Copies of this chain bind each other. A is one copy, B any other.
Amino acid sequence: MIFEFQVRTTEREQFVDVTPLVRQALAESGVEGDGVITVFAPHTTAAVTINENTDPAVPRDILTTLDRLAPYRGDYDHAEGNSDAHIKSSLIGASSRVLFNGGQLLLGPWQGIFFAEFDGPRTRQLVVHVGGTR
């Protein structure tokens, strides 16, 4: 079952905690038992990742390091000025998976699911698939 959400980003680079949206999709799906949720960003300058959602310094350190690995104003071929965002998208990945059982996400105690914006601010789409299995 597929759910679509909008995510509004306010910075060029930003982690937005979308765990509540994923919980909402699981609840609305009515899927019982266990399965896998796929959280997908249909964008080439964004990504989805799972990491600590308690201390905001963690996403900040990740973004700072990614900027060091692929600087915004680097020397790139792509003429649109957002090559760094494309590179970060492939380094982090367009989707994350989270398992569930009995209506609960099987996340670790520190884990949250983030939409990773690398070329905002924009209104972005997030596509969530809740897959129940036999």
Contacts and interface: CB of A to CB of B under 8 A. Distances in A.
A83 interface: yes
User: How many copies of this chain?
Assistant: 3
Contacts of A19: none
Contacts of A51: 44, 86, 89-90
A27 interface: no
A119 to B, nearest CB: 11
B40 A57 contact: no
Mostly, the A contact residues are mixed
A36 B131 contact: yes
B77 A60 contact: yes
A93 B94 contact: no
A76 B61 contact: yes
Contact of A87 (B50, B65, B125): B65
A58 B83 contact: yes
